[in-house]
Amino acid sequence: MLHLKSETAKNYYIYTACGGTIKVHDWKFHEFKHLYKEIHDKTIFSLAMYPPYCLNFYTCAYDNVLREWNSKTMELEYDWGCIDENDQVRCMQISPNGHFIFTTHRDHTVKQWTNEFKKCMHTFKDIHTGSVDTMAFTPCGTYLYTAGRDMVLNKISIRHQKVINSWRNLHPDMIMQMTVTPSGKF
């Protein structure tokens, strides 16, 4: 199950994913608000929302389909369709400014999608030697950290579209999850 908080003027809402379904809960009043039932054919592995207004949220599932949902109307805003024909997508996140969506893949790549034009604008190749399973942005959105099964942590400059630093063998096994502190420093 994945969790996401959305701050609105009155309440916090928690979005949870189980299988291909999303449930929205009102945190303050402990109430169930809405059900997005079977919105994907396979399990949803990424759920993301772009602050500060949280008007839309995004889902990506093991069917490799990326979808954008309107938080107010509860309807599908845009169906990006299948973003990887080879069952390769591992993680999806929205950049802090909301302009880009990034996906990580089993084929050792990271893809940068433009939210405005709904297409892939850059593929980072050869930055990992194994599946890229996780990523995290610095709060300002200047850098993206990626990690995965090759036990390498990369720091990518979004502006320059290149790896600017790498750390190897931080763990004795693959890196499956990470986060960046709110200050933007580890």
Distance CA 157, CA 134 (A): 16
Domain boundaries, the chain: 83-168
pLDDT of 6 over the 60 cut? no
Per-residue pLDDT of 111-128, as tens digits, reads: 999 988 899 999 999 899
- Given this model, what pLDDT does residue 11 score? 63
What is the architecture, at CATH level 2, of domain 83-168?
Beta Barrel (2.40)
- Mean pLDDT over the full length of the chain: 87
Token pair belonging to 118:
């709904």
Which residue, among 48, 133, 60, has the nearest Cα to 93 in the 3D structure? Answer: 48
Q: Mean per-residue pLDDT for 46-52? A: 82
- Given this model, what pLDDT does residue 9 score? 45
pTM: 0.85
Three-state DSSP state, 152: strand
Q: Mean per-residue pLDDT for 90-100? A: 91
